[in-house]
Structure formats: structure tokens, C-alpha cells
Amino acid sequence: MPIPSRAALVEHLVRTRIAGNVATPRDNNLAHYRKLANGDRHYWLGLELGDRWTDEQDVLAVMAERCGVDDDPAHRVGQDTIDPELTVDALDRMAGRLRKAAADRDRVLFATGHPGALLDVHSRTAAALRAAGCDIVRIPGGLTADEGYVVQFADVAVFERGATLWHTHSPGPMNAVLDGLRALDQPLPGLVVADHGWAGRAAQRGIDTVGYADCNDPALFIGEAEGTLQVAVPLDDHVLDPRSYEPMTAYLLDAAGLL
């Protein structure tokens, strides 16, 4: 695939609604910010936020700064946004960490709670890092979490239940992987590339973590603001056609020196 310029990628992100006027409505965003502030652990995505984020307006301020949602608290319903320039800025930061991983030949774990959209993004990144000499973690067999199984496809850890890959926000599958590696006396990853609770819990457990997050998933942006998570890339994490992410992935890998 041709490598898009920054300007071309910004245009593509807006046109495909990966950024710009995204599908997630404003009221859904604000509801998630409120639930995080009220201490609902489902919305903490594996991070431990304590009592540091009990004001919904503080959460909104972080999301406006790092994701590009409307910062007006009076805007309660209708369209909300992700700033595509912030998306590309975060991709550049992620590329820097991937470049370091390649130089250090890191041990890297990939995981996704959004297999319907982001599996190929993670898989292509894993393949590029493997070609650069990194050790891509092969997770232990037989792992279970949340009444399902933790399995791996195309180098990416995912959650499976009933012969179906599931969308999950839970930190349980990441706990299962990290605990499973320790039980087998295998080294933990030096870097995790993930999303949702997979990313939050890895970062909470002290592992360098970069990942992707939607505008209704504020926890990872808070984790980045606090320095727990290294990079959170703002994007719509489930647009209709997964191939829409291919130019973004090409840009990321090129910026990381992996193409």
C-alpha cells in the first residue's frame, strides 16, 4: 500500500470517520465519562484511578485535550468529534516507541478487545516488529477468563467464547496472559500494544504500553495523562470496513522505520 502523507492521512481519517465527525454520539461519550467519575470499574479499563477522577468535568477536559471532543459541558447530545491531527500526533508518538522496540529487539505482546476492527492493525504491526528482530509473545495455551478463553490469532491475543471472538473491555484476559507467563517462568513483555482493558491492565502492572482508544473510552487517555500508559491513539475503534485502517497502519509502520 502507498504510504500516505500526513495531510493525506488526515483527509482519509475524516472521510472514513475514523476521526473527525465520528459515529459515537455526544450523550454516549458523556455517559461514559460520568460512569468513570462515579467509580464504575468497567469504565476504568484495568487502570486503578482511585479517587483522582471523581469530577466528570475533569474527565471531559482531558478528553478535549487528548482526543479532541467538544470541550463545552453544555453540549449534551448530537455530534461529537475526534481531532484527526491529535490522532496523527499520537501515531507519531507510538511510532517512536515501536522504533525503540525494534532497536532493542524487545519482547512484545499484542492484544485486542476489538477483533472485528483492530485485529489486522495489530497483526500487521506484530509482523513488522518480528521482521525487525523482536520476539512476539506466544501466549500460553489453556488460558481462561470471564467464562471464556484467551487465545491468539495472527500473533494477537483475543477473547473467545462460544466459538466467537468477543468485543471486551475487561482486564481479565490480560491478567490471564501475564499470570500465565509468570506461571511458566517465561519473561513478561517489554512492550504491550493493545486497546481496552488489555492495554489498561498491562500499563497498570508496570509494562510499557501503547494503544488505541475511542472517544467514549476515557480511561486510557487518563492513563496517558498520568504517565501510566505511554501512548493512547484517539480513533473510532470500530468503523464499518476494517480495511479503512490500512492507510493508518501503513503510516504508523513507515514512521517507525518498519517498512
Distance between CA 219 and CA 210 in Å, rounded? 13
What φ, ψ does residue 208 adopt, rounded to 5°?
A: -55, 125
The mean of the pLDDT values for the chain is 98
13: left (phi over 0), alpha (psi -120 to 50) or beta: alpha
pLDDT tens column, 63-105? 999 999 999 999 999 999 999 999 999 999 999 999 999 999 9
Q: What is the pLDDT of residue 237?
A: 97
- Return the pLDDT at 144: 98
Cell numbers describing residue 10: 488526515
Chain CA centroid to CA 229, Å = 10
Q: What is the rounded distance in angstroms from the CA atom of residue 85 to the CA atom of residue 68?
A: 9
CA-closest candidate to residue 229, choices 45, 51, 99: 45
Grouping H, G, I as helix, E, B as strand and the rest as coil, residue 157 is strand
What average pLDDT does this structure show over 236-242?
96
Count, residues in the chain:
259
CA distance 177 to 202: 10
Grade residue 1 by pLDDT with cuts at 50, 70 and 90.
Answer: confident
**What pLDDT shows up at residue 218?**
98
Domain ranges across the chain = 1-258
Closest CA to 201 of 225, 182, 179: 179
DSSP string, 95-139: HHHHHHHHHHT-EEEEE-S-HHHHHHHHHHHHHHHHHTT-EE--P
**Does the global pTM surpass 0.85?**
yes
Residue type, 146: D
Locus of grid cell 476504568: 44
Least Cα distance to 177 among 209, 201, 161, 196 occurs for 201
Q: Please enumerate in sequence order all residues whose Cβ is within 8 A of that of 21, keeping only pairs 6 or more positions apart, or say none.
A: 14, 79, 81
What is the rounded average pLDDT of the residues 112-141? 98
pLDDT tens digits for 158-199? 999 999 999 999 999 999 999 999 999 999 999 999 999 999
